[in-house]
Amino acid sequence: MTRDTREELLELYTELVDCGVVFHYGNEEIDNGEITNFEIDDEDMITIELDGCETYEIELQDFIDNHSKDGVNYHSFEMGRRFDHILADK
């Protein structure tokens, strides 16, 4: 993922959160929780903070497979689609 793509993804994440969208993550090893911080490094590893306390480093594909969004509405729908599209094109 290029630097510009990472920046666009982070910008969309911030805009979606500002619009009231809540991101969740959970898998077999990590209990489901609300993502309260989201960062992507140069190797496409994602660092997420869940529920404001636990921090995990996960691979991009794991994030794609195991995240969800709540609260997407008419005003944030297109941003959510762009966010997912960028992830799919990684």
**Residue 79 confidence (pLDDT):** 95
pTM: 0.87
* DSSP per-residue letters across the chain: --HHHHHHHHHHHHHHHHTT-EEEE--SSS--EEEEEEEE-TTSEEEEEETTTEEEEEEHHHHHHHEEEE---TTTHHHHHHHHHHHHT-
What's the pLDDT tens digit per position in 41-87?
Answer: 888 899 999 999 999 999 999 999 999 999 999 999 999 999 999 98
**Residue 44 confidence (pLDDT):** 84
Across residues 16-39, what is the average pLDDT?
92
What is the domain partition of the chain in residue ranges?
3-88
**Residue 3 confidence (pLDDT):** 85
